[in-house]
């Protein structure tokens, strides 16, 4: 069987869902299971509705709710015709009623907890998957809607829950495998799951990719396809740099590094389940039915360019922690790390000296409580609106002069570098700059390192290369654990999970 995941833009309208049905029909002989995101922008709107309701603005929240409901019914009408859409309405209405009640309750209580937020955001994928399943059914695809909350089991870390694979495998085998053996096409919402007690959870923003990989691993899929709005994984975000090129083949390790350091095209944890089961992943363009996209496998042919791709992760803060004068240096770092541990701080880049430490983390995860506790043992300053630029490629550290060439390019772009990390990871060179400098820096780097067209290595036959990669990779596809160097450490949650 194969898993096919379609993102928000791929199901944003009746026309887009129509294309999805055609793509799925073209794979019907391979026992597809379909995972869909909420329609484009719906999750953002649910977040906005929640914020408005929780701040007491019930009318504005309900207005947004009504326009979102209307968009879903209009799409269903356009896809199904008014008669069939009317027969779908009894399946959609209870969800809209629940959502409306929740928003009214929220406006009264004025507090949106992480658990409440997961419940709120779950409606986007529930609604889109119901509409897509029905659209498939009337186009001759033998679709069966599956409630993701009944087979994808996570812990209770609301807003970024972690899958419990044993339970997920058991439930998926029980609920989904019989459908597949009856030649049905299961259709389910991505991103949403539930604890073993049945409380709704989500896998973090952009998490539908992760759902697809989790279900793929649970059911031993032959292939996982991530259908999106670009031609595959590219040498950089095409929105930042229109010259970006599609990467035909890339290794699990490199792709995971790219996803972790900001390539939004894949949720950072997506590849972990695929790596564990050695399942090839493809990133494909749902606007192009003939898309060949990017193939991600345990081993990919070396890129002839120095780097495989450039990413930029914005919304980052730098926190500088300097031992206050008079404070014993001995034990300083231990106290800082203990404080970070108490606050479950997840950092990206760390630079350490005997009496100071700087680290970066996502600004939205930086809590005042952490800063004030650190302030009790050190002088703390914080810079927001920073970005991590990361150049990824295998074996880059064996080649002399690469760092110099990267930093000369950045100097030529007149961009100031705040922190550097080279040496801890075998796969990347990363550095921190101001968010506003990202387009300039990425465009200069792309022109310098990807000006030839050689990075896009021609692709071997899809099945042949995937099969070979799986055979070669079996047992040796564990992601590398990075070692710490004396001056800089790169820790990514991708490593920590793996």
Q: Which of residues 187-216 bind ligand ADP (CB under 6 A)?
A: 206
* For Mg ion, the closer CB: 43 or 168: 43
Q: Which of residues 434-473 bind ligand ASP (CB under 6 A)?
A: none
Q: Does 206 contact Mg ion by CB under 5 A? A: yes
The piece of 37-45, 235-243, 357-365, 437-445 that touches ligand ASP (CB under 6 A) is 37-45
CB of 345 to ligand ADP, least distance (A): 26
Q: Which residue from 6, 8, 194, 410 is in contact with ligand ASP, where contact means CB under 6 A?
A: 8
Q: Does 38 contact ligand ASP by CB under 6 A? A: yes
Q: Does 268 contact Mg ion by CB under 5 A? A: no
Q: Which does 79 bind (CB under 5 to 8 A by kind): Mg ion, ligand ADP, ligand ASP, none?
A: none
CB of 37 to ligand ASP, least distance (A): 3
Q: Does 163 contact ligand ASP by CB under 6 A? A: no
Q: Which of 431, 428, 427 is nearest to 480 (CA)?
A: 427
* For ligand ASP, the closer CB: 36 or 389: 36
The piece of 102-110, 158-166, 178-186, 204-212 that touches ligand ASP (CB under 6 A) is 204-212
Q: Going residue by residue from 121 to 160, which x/- string records binding to ligand ASP, judged by CB under 6 A?
A: ---x------------------------------------
* For ligand ASP, the closer CB: 281 or 410: 281
* For ligand ADP, the closer CB: 223 or 470: 223
CB of 334 to ligand ADP, least distance (A): 38
Residue 122 near residue 202, CB atoms below 8 Å = yes
Q: Which residue from 3, 7, 122, 444 is in contact with ligand ADP, where contact means CB under 6 A?
A: 7
Collect contacts of 80-89 with beta carbons under 8 A, ≥24 apart.
80/134, 80/135, 80/138, 84/134, 84/138, 88/130, 88/131, 88/134
Q: Does 234 contact ligand ADP by CB under 6 A? A: yes
Q: Does 124 contact Mg ion by CB under 5 A? A: no
Q: Which does 229 bind (CB under 5 to 8 A by kind): Mg ion, ligand ADP, ligand ASP, none?
A: ligand ADP
Q: Does 262 contact ligand ASP by CB under 6 A? A: no
Q: Which of residues 283-312 bind ligand ADP (CB under 6 A)?
A: 309
Helix axis angle for 14-25 and 114-137, nearest 10°, is 70
Q: Which residue from 129, 208, 358, 448 is in contact with ligand ASP, where contact means CB under 6 A?
A: 208
Q: Does 43 contact ligand ADP by CB under 6 A? A: no
Q: Does 50 contact ligand ASP by CB under 6 A? A: no
* For ligand ASP, the closer CB: 121 or 352: 121
Q: Does 263 contact ligand ADP by CB under 6 A? A: yes
Q: Does 190 contact ligand ASP by CB under 6 A? A: yes
Q: Summarize as ranges the residues that interact with Mg ion (CB under 5 A).
A: 7, 206
Q: Summarize as ranges the residues that interact with ligand ASP (CB under 6 A).
A: 7-8, 37-38, 43, 124, 190-191, 205-208
Q: Summarize as ranges the residues that interact with ligand ADP (CB under 6 A).
A: 7-10, 37, 206, 228-230, 233-234, 236-239, 263-265, 309
């Amino acid at each position: 069987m194969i898993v096919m995941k379609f993102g928000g833009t791929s199901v944003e309208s009746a026309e887009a869902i129509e294309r999805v049905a055609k793509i799925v029909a073209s794979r019907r002989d391979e026992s597809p299971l379909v995972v869909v995101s909420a329609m484009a922008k719906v999750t953002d709107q649910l977040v906005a509705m929640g914020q408005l309701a929780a701040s007491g603005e019930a009318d504005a929240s309900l207005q947004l709710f009504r326009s979102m409901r209307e968009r879903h019914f209009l799409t269903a009408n356009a896809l199904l015709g008014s008669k069939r859409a009317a027969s779908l309405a009894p399946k959609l209405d209870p969800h809209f009623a629940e959502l409306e009640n929740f928003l009214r309750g929220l406006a009264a209580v004025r507090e949106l907890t992480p658990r409440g937020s997961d419940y709120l955001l779950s409606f986007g994928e529930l609604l889109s998957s119901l509409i897509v399943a029905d659209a498939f059914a009337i186009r001759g695809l033998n679709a069966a809607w599956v409630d993701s909350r009944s087979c994808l089991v996570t812990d209770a870390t609301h807003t970024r829950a972690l899958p419990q694979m044993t339970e997920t495998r058991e439930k998926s085998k029980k609920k989904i495998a019989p459908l597949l053996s009856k030649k049905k096409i299961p259709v389910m919402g991505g991103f949403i799951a539930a604890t073993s007690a049945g409380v709704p959870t989500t896998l973090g923003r952009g998490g539908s990719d992760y759902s697809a990989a989790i279900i793929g691993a649970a059911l031993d899929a032959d292939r996982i396809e991530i259908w999106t709005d670009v031609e595959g994984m590219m040498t950089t975000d095409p929105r930042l740099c229109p010259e970006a090129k599609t990467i035909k083949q890339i290794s699990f390790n490199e792709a995971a590094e790219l996803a972790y350091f900001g390539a939004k095209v894949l949720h950072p944890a997506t590849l972990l389940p695929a790596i564990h089961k050695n399942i090839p992943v493809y990133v494909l363009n749902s606007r192009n039915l003939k898309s060949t996209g990017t193939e991600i496998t345990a081993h990919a042919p070396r890129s002839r360019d120095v780097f495989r791709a450039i990413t930029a992760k914005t919304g980052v803060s730098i926190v500088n922690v300097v031992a206050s004068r008079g404070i014993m240096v001995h034990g300083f770092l231990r106290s800082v790390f203990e404080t970070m541990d108490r606050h479950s701080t997840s950092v990206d880049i760390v630079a350490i000296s005997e009496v100071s430490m700087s680290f970066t983390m996502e600004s939205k995860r930086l809590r005042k409580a952490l800063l004030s506790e650190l302030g009790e043992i050190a002088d703390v300053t914080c810079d927001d609106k920073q970005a991590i630029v990361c150049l990824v490629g295998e074996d880059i550290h064996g080649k002399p002069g690469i760092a110099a060439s990267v930093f000369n390019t950045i100097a030529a772009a007149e961009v100031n570098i705040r922190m550097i990390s080279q040496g801890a990871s075998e796969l990347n060179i990363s550095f921190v700059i101001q968010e506003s400098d990202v387009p300039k820096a990425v465009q200069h780097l792309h022109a310098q390192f990807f000006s030839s067209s050689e990075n896009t290595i021609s692709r071997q036959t899809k099945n042949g290369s995937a099969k070979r990669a799986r055979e070669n990779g079996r047992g040796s596809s564990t992601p590398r654990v990075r070692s710490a160097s004396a001056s800089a450490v790169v820790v990514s949650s991708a490593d920590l999970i793996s």
